[in-house]
Amino acid sequence: MKIGFIGLGIMGRPMALNLKGAGHEIVAPERASLTAEMRQAAIIVADAAAAAAASDIVVLMVPDTPDVEQALFGAGGVAAGLRPGTLVIDMSSISPVATKQFAARINALGCDYVDAPVSGGEVGAKQASLTIMVGGPDAAVARAMPLFQAMGKNITHIGAENGTGQTCKVANQIMVALNIQAAAEALVFAARAGADPAKVRAALMGGFASSRVLEIHADRMINGTFNPGFRIRLHQKDLNLALSAARELGVSLPNTATAQQMFSSVTAHGGADLDHSAMVKAIEILSDYSLLSREAIDGKEPS
C-alpha cells in the first residue's frame, strides 16, 4: 500500500522505515528536517494534503493534540487531500476527547479513523516491538492491522469507539511515570547507603521488582545518559491529560501528581528535552546526592 506518513521524528522515522521494510511505499511531506535516509526511502511531496491524496492510508506521529489538529485540518493538511475510503491512523499520544472530535470530522469526509498510540520509545520503534493501543471500528482496525504488525508486537484493540486507544495510552503513561519515580528513588537510596547501584539493579531484575523501566531507564540513570528516548516535556503533556481527565471524572491520582512535580523540577533546571529517565535528577536534587558521581551535589558530604 501507499502510506502517507506525517511526523518523521525520533519515533516516526523508524516506524516509517519499518513500514518501508515490510513492502509499503512511504509518501511524506517536504520538511527541512528530513534525513537523507528518509528522503531516499520515501516519495517526497509538497505537503500533508498531497501526501494524503497520493496514499491509501495516512499515519500521523506528531507530539501533541494541537499538532494533530494542525496536521489534519490546517492549511495544506491531510483533510484537504483525503479521498473517500482513505484510512487515517493517528499514532500520536493526545487527548481522548479531541480524538473523538477529530474522528467525527474525518468520518464526515467519508473516511475511517483509528487512534493507535504507542509505547516502547525509540528502542521499540527501531526494533518494531512497540506496544500499540488501538481504538476504532472493527473493519478499520482490521485494515490497519498489517501496518501495526510491521511496527509493533503487542497490539490490543481496546474498543470500537474512537478515543479508547488514547485512554489506554494515558493509563500507560501513568504507570511508566510512577515506575520511573520508583526506580529513581530506589537507586538513589541504595547508592547513598553505600551499595553499588548497578549491582542493585541487576539483583532487582531477577525479582518481583523487575520491569522494562528497571531494565532500560535505570541503566540510563546509573550511567547519566539522558539523550531521548522520550522527552520529559512530552511525558509532562501526557500526565497533564491524565490529571485533567481525573478532575473531570472525580478520580484521585496523588502519585501521578507527584511524578508530574518531579518532571517539573527537572524542567525548571533546563531538562525538558532530556529523556524521561532523567526524573532521577529531581530525586538527586531533593537528596543532595548524585547517583553518577556518588557524592553530594553541592560538594559537601551529606550529614
Can you give the residue ranges of every domain in the chain?
A: 2-160, 167-287
* DSSP three-state, residue 125: helix
The correct CATH number of 167-287 out of 3.40.50.720, 2.60.40.2890, 1.10.1040.10, 3.30.1360.120 is 1.10.1040.10
Compute CA distances 138 → 16, 159, 206, 210, whole Å.
24, 9, 39, 35
Architecture of domain 2-160: 3-Layer(aba) Sandwich (3.40)
Q: Residue 18 belongs to what H/E stretch? A: helix 12-21
How is residue 69 written as a grid cell?
489538529
Q: Give percent of the chain with pLDDT exceeding 90.
A: 95
Provide the pLDDT for residue 298.
75
Model confidence band, residue 297 (pLDDT cutoffs 50, 70, 90): confident
pLDDT for 8 beyond 90: yes
Cβ(27)–Cβ(34) under 8 Å?
no
Q: Catalytic one among 169, 199, 237, 300? A: 169
pLDDT for 282 beyond 60: yes
pLDDT for 300 beyond 70: no
Q: What's the predicted TM-score (pTM) here?
A: 0.90
2 given a catalytic annotation: no
pLDDT for 217 beyond 80: yes
Provide the pLDDT for residue 299.
65
Q: How high does pLDDT run on average in the chain?
A: 96
Instruction: Tell me how far apart the alpha carbons of residues 34 and 17 are, in angstroms, rounded to a whole number.
Output: 13
pLDDT for 302 beyond 80: no
Provide the pLDDT for residue 303.
46
